[in-house]
Chains A and B, each alone.
Chain A
Amino acid sequence: MNMRAPDPGPVRTTCPYCGVGCGVLATPDHLGGATIAGDREHPSNFGRLCSKGSALGETLALDGRLLHPEIDGRRVSWDDALDETASGFRRVLDAHGPGAIAIYLSGQLLTEDYYAANKLFKGFLGSANVDTNSRLCMSSSVAGHKRAFGSDTVPGTYRDLETADLLVFVGSNAAWCHPVLHQRMLAARAARGTRFVVIDPRGTATSEEADLHLPIASGTDAILFSGLLVALAERGAVFASYVADHTEGFDAALIRARELAPSVDAVAAACGVEAAKVAAFYDLFAATERAVTLYSQGVNQSAQGTDKVGAILNVHLATGRIGREGMGPFSLTGQPNAMGGREVGGLANTLAAHMEFDAESIEKVRRFWGAPRMARAPGLKAVEMFEAIGRGEIKALWVMGTNPAASLPRADAVSTALRKLDLFVVSENVASNDTVNAGARIRLPAAAWGEKDGTVTNSERRISRQRPFLALPGQARPDWWAVAQVGRRLGFEDAFGWRTPGEVFREHAALSAFENDGTRDFDIGALAGLDTRDYDQLRPTQWPARQSAVRDETRFFAKGGYFTPNRRARFVAVAPITPGAGTDDAYPYRLNTGRVRDQWHTMTRTGKSPRLGSHLPEPFLEIHPDDAAREGVADGGFARVTSPHGAVVLRAKVDPGARRGAPFAPIHWTGETSSSGRVGALVHAVTDPFSGQPDAKATPVAVAPVSFPLQGFALARSGLGGLDAAAWWAKAAAPGGHGLLFALAAEPEVAALFPHMAPDDELVEYVDAARRVRRIAMFRNGALEACLFVGPARPESSWTYLRDKLGARLTDGQVRGLLLAGRASDGAATGPLVCACHGVPKGEIERAIASGCGDAAAVGAATRAGTNCGSCLPEIRRMLAAQRVVVEA
């Protein structure tokens, strides 16, 4: 008898994409896959999932994974790889000091991973060169929060988004980037009539839902909100006692605001929107107490990101609309654990656990860690860090779970800089990406989502477990483990002796409470005593979670209590706008960048999903019709976008929703997924002076049309080969296989494109040589194995049609060559042909008989079948006879 362990049922875990932090139920199929559903009990999503989350089951395949440690391209043991890593850092540290080493982390890491890395570098190697891709994402929010609140605190909760009467989205396309939260807000609106205001240079899916859309010129948010502060003061909407009791600096902030934004008309002029819209927004905000201002990259990713945050926080402080039901500023984070990284302090300008580089904190942490070599000053933030690598000052780098060679500003320069490193270690899921391929000598196979075991924190300070439901493949290991192993090899056995992620978490929780006594917002001391079982079963928990405190209030600052020295919030006098860089004749446009609905970051996971690949399969440039006309760029054609730092070629999407002068391109495509869609290569390295966050949405660029004689696509169940170096291409997942969309000068070589073609494969081919059209369908054992479409026109609808056909078998009577039409037939003709002369198929004759034609003559009169040469009459008579038998029976 076969004894089987009882099915443990679905595993509760957390989505690995945006910062909403949805609960996911994963039911493994024990074949390496899993069925995915939303967790109805998770307070982020209550069972909902967005398109990306729903498709997680399609992203679990191991193809492309890094499964073994490698040094210089050779597979080595973990011991060898860790020894080499440890000795490499030791060598550089000894020779050049802590300024020459760095680690670059990721908002996709677990809190435990972050904690281990932060501890090793800041406490044991003496280097604060610990930064993260969250620098690109929400560091302006961090800086803004710290400046105003004295701490990096998100005051509100998701519930406020549902109980507000006014939601102001600033630089946030939540409909695409935080879809589940957006759905919750829409549902609440249906119930209570919440007003939506969207402030975004672009028309987006979010602005389509808005009651009011202010398409302001990019970078002018601070003026708009300064104007709002002025308007609130003028309308008497300032909450005077709150301002008096809990804040400081209001007058100076208001004076500055009046300088920047003296009137609605001045704001309208500066922001490039109609005054009536500005006034309507101000009226609405002034009149609506329950107002939440949600903001994302449009605010953060800016040369004045921190001031934009400040301007937003100012209006909430002035109205006292903070930390109360349905009110507050709300930063929406874009990564699953950007918040966890902030809690750990995995940023170059934070020490640890919401403590800064002040002497007292350094000493506190030193004692807690028993650390021999504390970092004593902030390290280099991401952009500076890679510039220092480029200058040769940083010689040893460990990149963990992120792809800076694609995502950082001046990505080409970053890629070049990485090659100069003496020691370049990556911890990765994938065997190949732009960063791995930029000379990473030591490659450590990291656990991926579904294998990882630890915690993440979402945008509302809620800690949830990411639980494993798949076995670790190959020799993949958790990142915290790899860091700990290096720490031990460097001689710190005790400090890095953790055996489980739960032990790491307990230490992290204990540090948050260590000599805290209410001086720091981040305190999860209540979780410091979890045993292994408690940790495994930890339910989503919102902080603060102080030891022995009654946890009833989950918001901050309704009654003041800020974490500044005098416990008062600080109004910020917003600096006048100085754009990161001006446009000029050579670079007359400002390139906006961002996400699309169905992809996430550099597509290493979402790119595997055929469902997600169907939405927008190519890197594109969204451009206003006037701009497109001026540059001669046609909708559906190609545009070369050039900045002083690089160039890309993108599919042009001429869209009236785009802002004039500010075309938009998505950030997702890399050298892995496209020939020339690395938008990071264009972005200038201008950063916010406080946060160091790149000004990624305003790079001056030039736009020019590009044309290719031929375009097309290839699909294959097995892998696809490459095209020649001059070709433009983008990879896209397809159901049951792989897809490649391309544009080029000369017809691709079939053998090179389909390296897995077998001698017995049957080729069906369509050629219109005069028009340079060639289409091939390749069948193996009767099923569509691969296909190729090449021609002068964009094969958009053929792609959509064929990408679902891999593996398809054709039913009786279908002519498989017709697949090469690239679309479904419009005709009703069915079945094999009976009357060849008049082209009458079997189905049509059957219909005629069924409708009462009793003999061949009647069938002929109805369908013309058999009325020419008559050679089909015997078959028609047989069909009639068969029909009679059926009827008589």
Chain B
Amino acid sequence: MKRERLVVVGNGMAGLKLLEELQAACPGRYAVTVIGAEPEPAYNRVLLSSLLAGEASDEDIRFRDRAWYGANGFRLLTGVPARAIDRDRRRVELRDGRVAPYDKLVLATGSEAIRLPLPGADLPQVLVFRDHGDAMKLKALARPGARAVVIGGGLLGLEAAYGLALLGCETTVVHLMDRLMERQLDAQGAATLRRALEAKGVRFRLGAQSRRVTGDTAVEGLELADGEVLPCDMLVMACGVRPNVALGRAAGLAVQRGLVVDDGLATSADGVFALGECAEHRGVVYGLVAPAYEQARALAARLAGDPAAAYAGSLLSTNLKVSGVSVFSAGAIEAEPGDDALLLSDPGHGCYRKLIVRDDRLTGAILVGEASDALWYLDLIARAAPLGPLRDDLAFGRSFGAAA
């Protein structure tokens, strides 16, 4: 009997994790073709800022070499974006004209950086920071002493700013909101992070709206809504990402913000699945690696023949080193009436913890500067068990709470 053909569009972290899980769950069951738009096989996107900053090498961010794909029976096509899905004929058409027929199709197309439609945004020194290529372009422009402005005080913007600062650029972050990472941090946590980054040489303009990019042939500055111009030699837009749904939308899949999937990661089209940042599960599009990995595990089990395998959603959490500063955020960010907030702050050392307790259960955690117990807190939020006596030691982490 002929093996079923599985096509995976996208060779990012989610796509690769799916392959690894498949290889573990049902080696050889599918004839797998992997289609990657980027020239290189999947790499660790999380480390791009380290790569930019020179803290990590290409070697460091590599996951699997091409030989691994071959050895495990995965046909890997790189540097060729998929152009369309022909659902009737059950095949994927590539931009170079090749086609990849499938019995089952997985879309792991990720997301793309948003470019603000500012006047002047088409100048060559206006960049985004999303993939390996972007990192290389930034690195090429980031001479010591160059002036860089980063629009966006979220995770990606801060990572880019930190990398540029480390390369010797005079870096300013322009952020629309009055605090950094407002979706992950409360005011005090954001202030703690800001101070830590300022200590590393990054400057900030908060509550600042960008109006236009100045310069005729090259970027000369960023003009803000209040008329002030921040002179700069390069501009990085890091204002967020949007799911890459064009391929699925064109194929008639149900799309809201992302490709709508059920708990089995199936889209609205028969035999077509989606995972990672392009997928929308129970109304949530995840932008982080951990949920993508959980999805990959569930989908691999499903594809391996377990009809019960399901993904029930991830607790939204951020657990990253933001520019060398550990930041963790999960669940509620602000205490609502009736909630209790536990605060542990050490501004001098750039450490901050906030834990939100509702009805004797942990419902939110923010850790800045020191986040070694992040997963312990995440687990407590997920389990939603009564804290009891643990409450009094909660802020001091696992090694104290374990004995409580």
Residues in A lying within 8 Å of B, measured CB to CB: 762-771, 773, 779, 815-818, 820-821, 823, 825-829, 833, 836-839, 841, 868-871, 873-874, 877
17 contacts between A and B (CB under 8 A): A762-B346, A762-B347, A762-B348, A762-B349, A765-B345, A766-B343, A766-B344, A768-B391, A773-B392, A815-B351, A817-B344, A825-B399, A836-B372, A839-B375, A839-B376, A868-B293, A874-B60
Residues 345 to 403 of chain B near chain A (Cβ within 8 Å): 345-349, 351, 353, 357, 370-376, 391-393, 395-400, 402-403
Whether B254 is near chain A, meaning CB under 8 Å from some CB there, is no
Whether B23 is near chain A, meaning CB under 8 Å from some CB there, is no
Closest chain-A Cβ to B374's Cβ sits at a distance in Å of 6
Chain B's closest residue to A826 (CB) is B403
- B402 and A836 contact, CB distance less than 8 A: no
Instruction: Report how far A723 CA is from B348 CA in the complex, Å.
Output: 28
- A817 and B345 contact, CB distance less than 8 A: yes
Q: Which of A763, A823, A839, A868 contacts B290 (CB 8 A)?
A: A868
Instruction: Report how far A648 CA is from B61 CA in the complex, Å.
Output: 70
- A817 and B346 contact, CB distance less than 8 A: yes
Chain B's closest residue to A779 (CB) is B348
Instruction: Report how far A837 CA is from B378 CA in the complex, Å.
Output: 10
Seed contacts A815-B346, A826-B400; 9 additional CB < 8 Å A-B pairs = A766-B345, A816-B346, A817-B349, A818-B396, A818-B397, A825-B399, A827-B402, A836-B374, A874-B50
Instruction: Report how far A779 CA is from B349 CA in the complex, Å.
Output: 11
Closest chain-A Cβ to B147's Cβ sits at a distance in Å of 29
Closest chain-B Cβ to A824's Cβ sits at a distance in Å of 9
Instruction: Report how far A767 CA is from B335 CA in the complex, Å.
Output: 14
Closest chain-A Cβ to B155's Cβ sits at a distance in Å of 13
Q: With contacts A768-B340, A816-B346, A871-B50 known, is A838 near B56, CB below 8 A?
A: no
Which chain B positions have C-beta within 8 A of A874? 47, 50, 56-57, 60
- B344 and A841 contact, CB distance less than 8 A: no
Residues 206 to 246 of chain B near chain A (Cβ within 8 Å): none
Which chain B positions have C-beta within 8 A of A838? 375
Which chain A positions have C-beta within 8 A of B31? none
- B396 and A820 contact, CB distance less than 8 A: yes
- B44 and A816 contact, CB distance less than 8 A: no
- B351 and A870 contact, CB distance less than 8 A: no
- B47 and A833 contact, CB distance less than 8 A: no
Which chain A positions have C-beta within 8 A of B351? 815, 817
Closest chain-B Cβ to A813's Cβ sits at a distance in Å of 10
Which chain B positions have C-beta within 8 A of A823? 400
Task: Categorize the interface residue count of chain B.
Answer: 35 or more
Instruction: Report how far A869 CA is from B12 CA in the complex, Å.
Output: 13
Indicate with 1 or 0, residue by residue over B46-61, a CB within 8 angstroms of chain A CB atoms: 1100100000110010
Chain A's closest residue to B369 (CB) is A815
Instruction: Report how far A764 CA is from B345 CA in the complex, Å.
Output: 6
Instruction: Report how far A817 CA is from B370 CA in the complex, Å.
Output: 10
Closest chain-A Cβ to B335's Cβ sits at a distance in Å of 9
Closest chain-B Cβ to A612's Cβ sits at a distance in Å of 30
Closest chain-B Cβ to A795's Cβ sits at a distance in Å of 11
- A870 and B341 contact, CB distance less than 8 A: no
- A836 and B320 contact, CB distance less than 8 A: yes
Which chain A positions have C-beta within 8 A of B328? 836
- A768 and B342 contact, CB distance less than 8 A: yes
Q: With contacts A825-B400, A871-B46 known, is A839 near B60, CB below 8 A?
A: no
Whether B319 is near chain A, meaning CB under 8 Å from some CB there, is yes
Closest chain-B Cβ to A757's Cβ sits at a distance in Å of 14
Chain A's closest residue to B400 (CB) is A821
- A839 and B373 contact, CB distance less than 8 A: yes
Instruction: Report how far A837 CA is from B318 CA in the complex, Å.
Output: 10
Which chain A positions have C-beta within 8 A of B290? 837, 868-869
Which chain B positions have C-beta within 8 A of A770? 340-341, 357
- B47 and A871 contact, CB distance less than 8 A: yes
Instruction: Report how far A764 CA is from B351 CA in the complex, Å.
Output: 9
Chain B's closest residue to A868 (CB) is B290
Chain A's closest residue to B293 (CB) is A868
Instruction: Report how far A763 CA is from B352 CA in the complex, Å.
Output: 12
Which chain A positions have C-beta within 8 A of B293? 868
Which chain B positions have C-beta within 8 A of A816? 346, 349
Instruction: Report how far A765 CA is from B343 CA in the complex, Å.
Output: 8
Closest chain-A Cβ to B317's Cβ sits at a distance in Å of 10
Closest chain-A Cβ to B148's Cβ sits at a distance in Å of 23
Closest chain-B Cβ to A879's Cβ sits at a distance in Å of 13
Whether B90 is near chain A, meaning CB under 8 Å from some CB there, is no
Whether B321 is near chain A, meaning CB under 8 Å from some CB there, is yes
Closest chain-B Cβ to A219's Cβ sits at a distance in Å of 46
Which chain B positions have C-beta within 8 A of A766? 342-345, 395
- A839 and B346 contact, CB distance less than 8 A: no
Which chain B positions have C-beta within 8 A of A871? 44, 46-47, 50, 320-321
- A767 and B346 contact, CB distance less than 8 A: no
Closest chain-B Cβ to A63's Cβ sits at a distance in Å of 29
Instruction: Report how far A300 CA is from B344 CA in the complex, Å.
Output: 55
Closest chain-B Cβ to A523's Cβ sits at a distance in Å of 67
Q: With contacts A769-B341, A870-B46 known, is A839 near B289, CB below 8 A?
A: no
Q: With contacts A764-B348, A870-B63 known, is A839 near B398, CB below 8 A?
A: yes
Whether B268 is near chain A, meaning CB under 8 Å from some CB there, is no
Q: With contacts A836-B372, A839-B376, A868-B289 known, is A826 near B348, CB below 8 A?
A: no
Which chain A positions have C-beta within 8 A of B402? 826-827
Chain A's closest residue to B395 (CB) is A766
Which chain A positions have C-beta within 8 A of B347? 762-763
Instruction: Report how far A773 CA is from B393 CA in the complex, Å.
Output: 12
- B345 and A841 contact, CB distance less than 8 A: no
Which chain A positions have C-beta within 8 A of B348? 762-764, 779
Which chain B positions have C-beta within 8 A of A762? 346-349
- A827 and B345 contact, CB distance less than 8 A: no
Closest chain-A Cβ to B223's Cβ sits at a distance in Å of 36
Closest chain-B Cβ to A585's Cβ sits at a distance in Å of 42
Chain B's closest residue to A810 (CB) is B349
- B346 and A869 contact, CB distance less than 8 A: no
Chain A's closest residue to B340 (CB) is A770
- B289 and A869 contact, CB distance less than 8 A: yes
Q: With contacts A836-B372, A837-B375, A870-B63 known, is A764 near B346, CB below 8 A?
A: yes
- B50 and A829 contact, CB distance less than 8 A: no
- A837 and B319 contact, CB distance less than 8 A: yes
Closest chain-B Cβ to A423's Cβ sits at a distance in Å of 56
Which chain B positions have C-beta within 8 A of A825? 396, 399-400
Indicate with 1 or 0, residue by residue over B286-329, a CB within 8 angstroms of chain A CB atoms: 00011001000000000000000000000000011100001010
Of A816, A829, A871, chain B has the most CB atoms within 10 Å of the CB of A871
- A818 and B371 contact, CB distance less than 8 A: no
Chain B's closest residue to A833 (CB) is B372
Closest chain-A Cβ to B301's Cβ sits at a distance in Å of 18
Instruction: Report how far A833 CA is from B348 CA in the complex, Å.
Output: 19
Closest chain-B Cβ to A664's Cβ sits at a distance in Å of 32
Chain A's closest residue to B399 (CB) is A827
Instruction: Report how far A838 CA is from B398 CA in the complex, Å.
Output: 12
Of B293, B346, B395, B396, chain A has the most CB atoms within 10 Å of the CB of B346
- B319 and A820 contact, CB distance less than 8 A: no
Chain B's closest residue to A766 (CB) is B344
- B398 and A829 contact, CB distance less than 8 A: yes
Indicate with 1 or 0, residue by residue over B35-73, a CB within 8 angstroms of chain A CB atoms: 000000000101100100000110010010000000000
Closest chain-B Cβ to A784's Cβ sits at a distance in Å of 12
Instruction: Report how far A833 CA is from B326 CA in the complex, Å.
Output: 10
Closest chain-B Cβ to A880's Cβ sits at a distance in Å of 13
Closest chain-B Cβ to A138's Cβ sits at a distance in Å of 50
Instruction: Report how far A433 CA is from B375 CA in the complex, Å.
Output: 55
Which chain A positions have C-beta within 8 A of B400? 818, 821, 823, 825-827
Q: Which 4 A-B pairs have the closest CB atoms?
A: A827-B399, A762-B348, A821-B396, A770-B340
Which chain B positions have C-beta within 8 A of A836? 319-321, 326, 328, 371-372, 374
Instruction: Report how far A833 CA is from B398 CA in the complex, Å.
Output: 13
Which chain A positions have C-beta within 8 A of B396? 817-818, 820-821, 825
Closest chain-B Cβ to A789's Cβ sits at a distance in Å of 12
- B342 and A767 contact, CB distance less than 8 A: yes
